[in-house]
């Protein structure tokens, strides 16, 4: 019976040929074919609203038309596609655009490193560099942090299941409590400070502190700006490098281009990926304060550092940041989402819900075991793609493209409400 | 003076904005703009022959027209570009093509994992899985191996400079001598066997042995087929998983699609990347024998597992493998290169040259200190892009696109000869 | 000048021939020759009161006459002195005595392991066994813990200076806050519980929790009995082994034979050393609940597991524990010390003193930087041997032999008072 | 039945109360009571010849009468017994004696460190110091090395069973082939040199090379003097510290006081323990070239560094080394043993025996599986204590006290011969 069923499954090819490790295709069991902005369509022509946005890689929507145009033009002209870390006109253009549109107006001084095309490449390069600069071994990371799946990044990631996947002990990292981890009354920075001040604490002076300003995978935990400032002070006091992993929160997810801007802090190293490639193309940057750019040539490398389609798309995507309007728009949409979610939580107290997040990374932490997953499954049935986050999949996460229009946002929120109601009925 | 000079340098934007880690752009100091098959052009319109091929990522040449066509078509149709690991039509098509064109005809049984879009992602996933399957910690790798820059892959990479970049001790790996490492008379497999047989050797039973059949970065060291067979026997005898990192040697570089085919071995896990993406687009696969596909869903993940442009390009690139002709062609070109290099070595004994390699990964190990780098620099002056390899940059490496035509191959070889002659004159 | 001075120094032989690592002989710069109970004499015939007691190895005083008698008798009879872990009559006698005098009356069920003759041997064996029993890697230890100088024990020791001595990263351990580490209001067990409950905390389920009930080296930090009970509960809840390192606090230092008795907890493994050897002879035990005694024969070994002089002395020393009187005596002396120290602290508020400890391990944490060391130096000048503890040497530590008589105790306390007064005068 | 048997067993107390880890008491299942020189007696009055000598801790025999006299005298006079690392007259006397009797006549310049009373304490201190001096992480050790059971020492120990006992991966060490490990024709130093010379070998420059000149536990593998000299050359060439672990081979076991003397090498650090304590009392030294004595005071410490009974015994034991005669005697006895063993091997070819060792550490490597253990068991039945060594217990090891007289030696050898003959008969 099961075999017959599988043969008829739309995913039968994947079930037969792809590894068991596949994951999201189990939550969203259909074969997608087309996409545009906040919409996806599957092979049967069904339309979906996307509140997942490639886990933050599609801030500018699927197949953004202006970027697409540039890509096709570049392809047709036989622009260099793959260039390792050789100089190309596309890379040069991106570097100049990034400098003029992003760094200079914000008064930020960073050298740009292309560490390979994914977030974990960027994190690994940041950790290496911090250790080289300081000559120290350990790195402080936070509870419920997510920084990547390669061994260096995994060592600073909190999730037990992912960590266990390493198959060996993950070392040279120390997990400290994130903002609010111990409840409202306890300031976790005091805790960290106590360990660093005390010569008998068993915690050595770290090379770096690495953090996300909002932990998306970890359950949408948003650090307060004051907490971020205090962490920065700690870094300054002990000459610890501050690494902000803005892979998911950067590129406008919380409103400003860098998520740390409103906190007024200046990280020593910034990791960018996901939406930096504009069109969902693999690309990553590591931004380094010039005084810490002590790499030897080639000390870190990688085959796909020079994905020029990424550079072309990224350069075009930066147009969104030439003035304040895009950022304002995100904030307004975020406000809209906040109000809606607060209302849902009030109207459905049995969810034991708590609204979390900032900008267009928001969600509801659901107190009832397993309910968050049911809501997301119900939403998918209704044409909304949305995933849970948190170590126990306890948070319903809304992560729409930043470019989503009002109609799309409303429709998605409506489906969310319907799904909650449907679950409430005991389905 | 220096400041002024820099401002006039064609690379001044990169010098000002990019990290010191940049590397190849120092050996090939110009800004490239266009590319096609085995040719590159820079901003001043100068043409270059490419004997580097994206370090093996461009086996089908730059901007291969048939693949380009498919990419543009896909883009214009708004096919899904970024999909995490959700099912898409493009991915499904690739999986089917890979099964029918590559796996099935070779009698190979592998599940396909998409571990993230780069070689190091594939290696990290392979190491994790081998540790999970066996419950063991260490992995045997080889002298002069190159497997990647993230912490897990770096631990099985031989290069001292790269390893030191980790900033922390690299552990849970054991470096064993590659084929021929101790000279002709000593069979290094005996050595490994001695360590594994002896309960007092200090070397524990490893989870896996990971190897490249030809070490490109490590100095073009080609393992004999017999050596590979004996390594496989060791793996079978002790239930060690055999991982072949075919990232650079796969996709036809040595002739057959998989470099290990002529040795008649069947690795338990195969890492593929670089040219699997067809067009130089970031993509990687981890092939896993079904019995070892013990992953939990999502135990390893990554944002760019679903780079659909890669799938589209990859599916088209597989057309080269629908019959034997492409493979035959590579072998013929390889033979042509071999003959030419042997002649050069004979005619220029002062180089103390030794021809190394197989198929279209060949080169000359140059005995004279620093000469290999000079030859490559001279070649670049003459319009040929070619890099050195080996821990001391002692090997002149030829890595043209597999699709290069006779004229291109001849022209490149001619420039190599000219460069050697010019260096000989004491320049 | 300095050279001449050195030659005349009573320590000139040590300065010339012994390594720079020597430590206590710098604080107590004289050559000791004889000792009895709580008194030491140096080569010039000067008498010292000993409030240091071999860092807890001389609970029964120097050269305890009853034990001495047994030792001389054993030596004269050519009893086996060194026996590895072969069976000897002396060892048999010790085992029986330990069972009947210590274990049985307390209702404790432990197998006795002889792990080598020092505390760190015992701790290393305990850590190995906990990892074997649970199949887990990490061990939770506490801030300001001290467990030994070999690599395994050092990894669970808090002191930064000692840790750095390892020369390599110390891994597979997690430092958690000891009782009261975060001030009165924060219960540190809640903190630990939070990390263990949360699947995203970055802290994996440990093999064991290792602790001292009173941290002597760490600054005389006494855990409350309630805190110890809650730690035990955590261990039971998650099947974590509870290891009590009673090397310094055991053998009556806090009053009862085992320091954990009044807390009513039953550790899974107990480490004993220092005074277990009775006469200051190297000896250590690892006590193991029978269900966890899963060692293979010889899986841990060592040359000096069978120091029979130690067994002879230890067996005799157990006579102190045949009834309650010794324990009562210690408590009474401890009370006497407590009252005296409280008075000192009140009378000398400028010390910013805080009395700490329990039984005959008590001291004053001195708020004023460097003052504790000055007090100890002044005491030595006056014939009292007493050392500081704490990561910044901020605690004046009183650790007299448990057998000290009233006169000795009073005299020592008087010298302490005199020393404080003298320091107060600005010396 | 078994329960009843156990209750009657002479070892019933041990079986009931002692941990399963006990080991030698299983091979030699009786309760020993008295001992003198090379003889032991058990509770039933049976006499045994000791060819085990406390695994090398009893080079001067059991209860050596001259040493015993000094011990009793010291005890009766209330000399300081336990002194941490404070200065005592007994320690001073030992230091002077060691300097005048051992170091000075040999032209050796070492500072003396007291690292704690066991061999593994000495090894741990040596490894720490080498890492501190060089700032490097890894240490090269050898196949079949034995250096101790604490985590640092265990990482440089070869035995798989012992290593596994750690319960965690043992890192920061590299196992290289000992002399002759790859057969006669391959010089293993070449192998090591190849790895160190090659920047791509995956083996980083180590802090130290640690070795035993004869590996006793590892199967009595004696390094040739030439091999030791070449290892020293390697250390000099790359500024690697040479650590000789002379814990078992020192104090005359191979003839000279230090086993490395005839090779003419000068290690940077020497580890001594076992027989340095003269009487089987726990004691250890770490000898350090003055230029490498860069310890901070107290950077390594331990409770039993000052075992003054050990100092008293050790000082007296050095009398054996005031002239050449003791050393000559050992050589003569060694020669006698060698001739006898060679004869046995010739007369019993079915053993497939090979005579190994030097001085009074010799033995027969037995080709036939399990036979070595049977021979030792048969010997015990006949009143000879002798253990096997080697990772598979394949070597019959002779390790008599150096002070054994001719009668004792002959009697022991005769029992060995009888045991072999008895085993031959198929028992």
- The answer to whether residue D33 neighbours chain B at the CB level (below 8 Å) is no
- Write out chain C residues lying below 8 Å of B169, CB-based: 168-169
pLDDT at residue C375, rounded to an integer: 97
pLDDT at residue C1, rounded to an integer: 41
Helices of type H across D318-405: 325-347, 371-381
Contact B359, B330 (CB under 8 A): yes
| Residue B187, φ and ψ in degrees, nearest 5 | -85, 115
Q: Which residue has the tokens 């890099």?
A: B387
Task: Look at residue A226 and give its three-state secondary structure.
Answer: helix
- The answer to whether residue B295 neighbours chain A at the CB level (below 8 Å) is yes
Helices of type H across B28-147: 53-56, 65-76, 89-97, 119-134
- Looking at the fold, whether A23 and A73 belong to one and the same domain comes out as no
- Count the domains in chain D: 2
Interchain CB distance below 8 Å, D78 and C87: no
Q: Which residue has the tokens 């489906």?
A: A415
Q: What percent of chain D has pLDDT over 70?
A: 98
pLDDT in tens, D156-192: 999 999 999 999 999 999 999 999 999 888 899 999 9
Q: Which tokens sit at C230?
A: 């809650």
Q: Which residues contact C145 (CB under 8 A, 6 or more apart)?
A: A202, C156, C157, C158, C175, C178, C210, C211, C212, C215, C218, C245
- Over its C-alpha atoms, chain A yields an Rg (Å, rounded) of 22
The CA distance from D301 to C23, in Å, is 8
Nearest one of C150, C145, C173, C171 to C284, comparing CA atoms: C150
Task: Look at residue C305 and give its three-state secondary structure.
Answer: helix
End-to-end Cα, chain A, rounded Å: 26
Q: For residue C292, what are the CA distances in angstroms to C130, C150, C269, D94?
A: 8, 24, 9, 43
The CA distance from D108 to D250, in Å, is 15
The CA distance from D87 to D91, in Å, is 7
D1 pLDDT higher than 50? no
- Backbone CA torsion sign across A58, A62, A66, A68: positive
Read off the pLDDT of each residue in A351-361 and give the average, rounded to a whole number. Answer: 97
- Over its C-alpha atoms, chain D yields an Rg (Å, rounded) of 22
Q: How many CB atoms lie within 10 A of CB B10?
A: 15
The CA distance from C353 to C347, in Å, is 10
pLDDT in tens, D85-131: 999 999 999 999 999 999 999 999 999 999 999 999 999 999 999 99
**Could you say which of C321, C337, C354 is where a domain stops?**
C321
A1 pLDDT higher than 50? no
Read off the pLDDT of each residue in D288-309 and give the average, rounded to a whole number. Answer: 97
Chains in touch with B (3+ beta-carbon pairs under 8 Å) read A, C, D
Contact A404, A231 (CB under 8 A): no
- Looking at the fold, whether C81 and C228 belong to one and the same domain comes out as yes
pLDDT at residue B8, rounded to an integer: 67
Interchain CB distance below 8 Å, B202 and D172: no
The CA distance from C223 to C212, in Å, is 8
pLDDT at residue D239, rounded to an integer: 98
The CA distance from A129 to C361, in Å, is 46
Chains in touch with A (3+ beta-carbon pairs under 8 Å) read B, C, D
Q: How many CB atoms lie within 10 A of CB C405?
A: 13
pLDDT at residue A7, rounded to an integer: 52
pLDDT at residue B9, rounded to an integer: 86
Low pLDDT (below 50) residues in chain C = 1-2
pTM, entire model: 0.97
Contact D313, D71 (CB under 8 A): yes
Task: Look at residue A139 and give its three-state secondary structure.
Answer: strand
pLDDT at residue B1, rounded to an integer: 41
With residue C223 as reference, give the H or E element that holds it. Answer: none
- Looking at the fold, whether C311 and C361 belong to one and the same domain comes out as no
pLDDT band of B144, cuts 50, 70, 90 = very high
Q: How many CB atoms lie within 10 A of CB D167?
A: 22
Q: Which residues contact A314 (CB under 8 A, 6 or more apart)?
A: A94, A98, A276, A277, A278, A283
Long-range contacts of A66-72 (CB under 8 A, 24+ apart): A66/A316, A66/A319, A67/A278, A67/A279, A67/A313, A67/A316, A67/A317, A68/A279, A68/B75, A70/A312, A70/A313, A70/A315, A70/A316, A71/A279, A71/A309, A71/A312, A71/A313, A71/B75, A72/B72, A72/B75, A72/B76
Q: Which residues contact C199 (CB under 8 A, 6 or more apart)?
A: A159, A160, A161, A391, A392
Among D133, D157, D249, D303, pick the best mutation site for testing chain C contact (most C Cβ within 10 A).
D303
DSSP D148: -
pLDDT band of D7, cuts 50, 70, 90 = low
Q: Which residue has the tokens 């790859």?
A: D182
Read off the pLDDT of each residue in B24-36 and give the average, rounded to a whole number. Answer: 97
Give me the torsion for CA of B344, B347, B349, B352, rounded to 10°: 0
Q: Which tokens sit at D167?
A: 């319960």
The CA distance from B81 to B356, in Å, is 41
The CA distance from D49 to D66, in Å, is 21
Interchain CB distance below 8 Å, A201 and C160: yes
pLDDT in tens, B88-136: 999 999 999 999 999 999 999 999 999 999 999 999 999 999 999 999 9
In order, the DSSP letters of D365-379 are EE-STTHHHHHHHHH
Q: For residue C346, what are the CA distances in angstroms to B104, C252, C349, C419?
A: 87, 29, 6, 16
pLDDT at residue B7, rounded to an integer: 52
Task: Look at residue A257 and give its three-state secondary structure.
Answer: coil
Contact B401, B59 (CB under 8 A): yes
- The whole-chain average pLDDT of chain A stands at 96
With residue D125 as reference, give the H or E element that holds it. Answer: helix D119-134
CATH code where residue A154 lies: 3.40.640.10
- Looking at the fold, whether A125 and A18 belong to one and the same domain comes out as no
Q: Which tokens sit at C41?
A: 């004499």
Domain of residue B413 covers 2-63+325-424
- Looking at the fold, whether B11 and B159 belong to one and the same domain comes out as no
B186 pLDDT higher than 90? no
Q: How many CB atoms lie within 10 A of CB C46?
A: 11
Q: How many CB atoms lie within 10 A of CB A3?
A: 6
Read off the pLDDT of each residue in A389-402 and give the average, rounded to a whole number. Answer: 95
**Could you say which of D305, D321, D337 is where a domain stops?**
D321
- The answer to whether residue A169 neighbours chain D at the CB level (below 8 Å) is yes
pLDDT band of D391, cuts 50, 70, 90 = confident
Report the gap between the CA of D68 and the closest CA in chain C (Å).
Answer: 7
The CA distance from D210 to C274, in Å, is 30
- Looking at the fold, whether D41 and D139 belong to one and the same domain comes out as no
Report the gap between the CA of A169 and the closest CA in chain B (Å).
Answer: 9
- Looking at the fold, whether C78 and C203 belong to one and the same domain comes out as yes
Among A135, A188, A198, A200, pick the best mutation site for testing chain C contact (most C Cβ within 10 A).
A200
Helices (H) and strands (E) in chain B, counts: 15, 17
- Looking at the fold, whether B20 and B81 belong to one and the same domain comes out as no
Task: Look at residue A156 and give its three-state secondary structure.
Answer: coil
- Write out chain C residues lying below 8 Å of A204, CB-based: 160, 163-164
Report the gap between the CA of C346 and the closest CA in chain D (Å).
Answer: 33
**Could you say which of C292, C321, C350 is where a domain stops?**
C321
- Looking at the fold, whether A109 and A210 belong to one and the same domain comes out as yes
The CA distance from A208 to A139, in Å, is 5
- Looking at the fold, whether D150 and D54 belong to one and the same domain comes out as no
- Looking at the fold, whether A282 and A251 belong to one and the same domain comes out as yes
- The whole-chain average pLDDT of chain D stands at 96
Is the complex ipTM higher than 0.85? yes
Nearest one of D398, D25, D51, D386 to D216, comparing CA atoms: D398
Among D282, D284, D289, pick the best mutation site for testing chain C contact (most C Cβ within 10 A).
D282
- Looking at the fold, whether D139 and D279 belong to one and the same domain comes out as yes
CATH code where residue C363 lies: 3.90.1150.10
Q: % helix / strand / coil in chain C, to the nearest 5? A: 45, 15, 40
The CA distance from D239 to D226, in Å, is 20
C14, C72, C131: residue with CB nearest D76: C72
């Amino acid at each position: 019976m099961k075999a017959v069923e599988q043969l008829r499954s739309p995913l039968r090819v994947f079930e037969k040929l792809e590894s068991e490790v596949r994951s999201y295709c189990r939550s969203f069991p259909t074969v997608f074919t087309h996409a545009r902005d906040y919409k996806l369509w599957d092979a049967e022509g069904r339309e979906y609203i996307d509140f997942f946005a490639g886990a933050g890689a599609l801030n500018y929507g699927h197949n953004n038309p202006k970027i697409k145009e540039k890509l096709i033009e570049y392809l047709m002209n036989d622009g260099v596609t793959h260039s390792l870390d050789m100089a190309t006109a596309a890379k040069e253009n991106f570097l100049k655009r990034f400098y003029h549109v992003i760094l200079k107006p914000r008064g930020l001084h960073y050298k740009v490193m292309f560490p390979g095309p994914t977030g974990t490449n960027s994190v690994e390069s940041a950790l290496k560099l911090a250790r080289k600069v300081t000559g120290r071994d350990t790195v402080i990371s936070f509870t419920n942090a997510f920084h990547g799946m390669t061994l260096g990044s995994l060592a600073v990631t909190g999730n037990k299941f992912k960590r266990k996947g390493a198959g060996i002990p993950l070392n040279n990292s120390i997990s400290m409590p994130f903002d609010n981890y111990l409840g409202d009354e306890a300031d976790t920075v005091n805790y960290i400070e106590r360990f660093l001040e005390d010569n008998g604490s068993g915690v050595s002076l770290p090379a770096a502190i690495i953090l996300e300003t909002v932990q998306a995978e970890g359950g949408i935990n948003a650090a307060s700006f004051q907490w971020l400032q205090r962490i920065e002070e700690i870094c300054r006091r002990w000459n610890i490098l501050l690494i902000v992993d803005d892979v998911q929160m950067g590129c406008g997810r919380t409103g400003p281009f860098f998520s740390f801007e409103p906190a007024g802090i200046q990280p020593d190293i910034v990791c960018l990926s996901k939406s930096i490639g504009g069109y969902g193309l693999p690309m990553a940057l590591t931004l380094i304060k010039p005084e810490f750019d002590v790499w030897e040539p080639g000390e870190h490398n990688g085959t796909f550092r020079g994905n020029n389609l990424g550079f072309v798309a990224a350069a075009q995507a930066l147009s969104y940041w030439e003035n304040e309007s895009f950022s304002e728009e995100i904030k307004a949409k975020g406000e809209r989402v906040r109000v809606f979610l607060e209302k849902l939580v009030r109207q459905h107290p049995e969810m034991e819900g708590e609204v979390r997040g900032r900008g267009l990374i928001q969600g509801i932490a659901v107190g009832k075991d397993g309910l968050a997953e049911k809501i997301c499954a119900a939403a998918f049935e209704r044409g909304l793609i949305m995933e849970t986050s948190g170590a126990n999949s306890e948070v319903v996460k809304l992560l729409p493209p930043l470019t989503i229009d009002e109609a799309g946002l409303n429709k998605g929120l409506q489906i969310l409400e319907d799904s909650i109601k449907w679950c409430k009925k005991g389905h």
